[in-house]
Amino acid sequence: MAIEGFDYKEFAQLMSSQAGELIPKDFNDMQKNYVVKTLSNFTLLAGEAIANDEALGFNADQAIFVTQIIAEWAFHKSIDLVHSGIMPEHWDGIMQKIAFTIFEVAKQAIKKNVPQDQILQLIEHHVNKTYKEAIDNLEKRGVITAEISQKAMSQSNIDDMAAQAAQAEAEQKAAMEAGAQEQAVSPDAAPQAAPQVSVPQAAATSLPAGPMEKSLKLISVALVLKILPSDRVEAILDKFSPQDVETIKNYMKVENLEAGLDMNYTLKCLENIKEFLPRRKSPSQESIVRQLNKIFDQYPMENVEKLFKSERPFLKRFISKAYEGDYYPIPVKVAQIVVDYVKDSVE
């Protein structure tokens, strides 16, 4: 029985068209097709399963929420796999595990009336855990090398996009301030006209007002932040001015934000953000120690040590040195994997 207000086929088509605009430009045709096809297939399968399972009792909002989460994580993790160095014949198996995990976690959480923000946190945790376990399994079977395993675990397209969006806004703000100073020096300089962008009437009545150019850039940020848990969102919003934070939060509250906008222009904003900024910096020894210190502040050291009870001595030494504020010399990429493991596992 269909869910009123939920056309999963149309929704899958919308998500696929958006994905096609955001795929990294360095991808070849095979890689681009894989990302779009994977997102489309998983969105259709999830939407159909939800629509035909009367026992779930989902309304349209719940159905869209689960399907969109699967679509967006399928997009980000398939990009991570393309960047990972893992051979394409192993991608589908990993993506199937991730999609199934999201579906089950979201389904059970909604049944138990878990708040949406907590659902997002649960999903992110289990996506990362499932991805790591799948990579570890390939390494244990000898399918991939330790080097490729480390490279795969270091990928995070969703973090890249969120960080790049925040940095782009900071760059734009700096550029605007520089422009204002220049105009103050040369008062006769004619201001440049903002680009003409059409926004549907439905969006115009529901979205906060503001200069069109900047508003669409803030919308681009809001679209990325909508699928992140609150702690990650707040960390990114800290980089914006208070006025922009309020505007972004208002955009995030708009239902079906992407459906009420000129998506071609909005997607160009996101693509421009990705091109304009450098890629995320590699972790340093100092950042590794800082990350672990935050964990030590939140959890007893005994809880962290339990995770490494049966691990190799150099890993135990690495943790104990970090607790003392020092860095035990292991490859930084390996250290970041260890940090991520601790974050996901410590209780």
Q: Examine the pLDDT at 346 and tell me if it is beyond 60.
A: yes
Instruction: Estimate the crossing angle of helix 146-153 against helix 332-345, to 10 degrees.
Output: 60
Over 80: is that where the pLDDT of 170 sits?
A: no
Model confidence at 139, pLDDT cuts 50, 70, 90, reads very high
pLDDT for the residue 86: 94
pLDDT band at 267 (very low <50, low <70, confident <90, very high): low
Where residue 262 falls among pLDDT bands split at 50, 70, 90?
low
- pLDDT tens column, 306-345: 887 776 677 788 888 888 888 887 777 778 888 888 887 8
Report the pLDDT value the prediction gives residue 13, as an integer from 0 to 100.
85
From the list 193, 160, 176, the residue with the least C-alpha distance to 275 is 160
- Minimal CA–CA distance to 151: which of 77, 94, 84? 84
Please say if the pLDDT value at position 293 is more than 60. Answer: yes
pLDDT above 70: percentage of residues in the chain: 72
Rounded distance, CA 26 to CA 72, Å?
20
| Res 206: pLDDT | 36
- Give me the pLDDT at residue 216, please: 61
- Number of Cβ atoms within 10 Å of the Cβ of 55: 6
Lowest mean pLDDT among 105-119, 183-197, 223-237: 183-197
What pLDDT shows up at residue 192? 42
103, HSE (Cβ side, Cα atoms, 13 Å): 20
Q: Residue 234: which pLDDT band, with cuts at 50, 70 and 90?
A: confident
pLDDT value, residue 288: 87
**Across 32-43, average pLDDT:** 92
Contact 153, 337 (CB under 8 A): yes
- pLDDT average, residue stretch 39-64: 87
pLDDT computed for residue 168 by the predictor: 63
Q: What percent of the chain has pLDDT over 90?
A: 21
Range 302-308 average pLDDT: 82
On whether the CB atoms of residues 297 and 110 are closer than 8 A, the answer is no
Greater confidence (5 vs 140) lies with 140
The amino acid occupying position 13 is Q
Kindly report the average pLDDT of the chain as a whole number: 77
Cβ pair 303, 124 in contact under 8 A:
no
Other residues' Cβ atoms within 10 Å of the Cβ of residue 116? 15
Average pLDDT estimate for 62-77: 90
CA distances from 189 to 85, 236, 251 (A): 51, 35, 33
**Would you tell me how many other CB atoms lie within 10 Å of the CB of residue 209?**
8
Asked if residue 224 has pLDDT above 80, the reply is no
- pLDDT confidence tier of residue 149, bands split at 50, 70 and 90: very high
Q: Which residues of 258-295 are buried (b: 16+ CB within 10 A; e: fewer)?
A: bebbeeebbbbbbbebbeebeeeeebeeeebbebbeeb
- Position 35 confidence tier, pLDDT thresholds 50, 70, 90: very high
Residue 198: pLDDT over 50: no
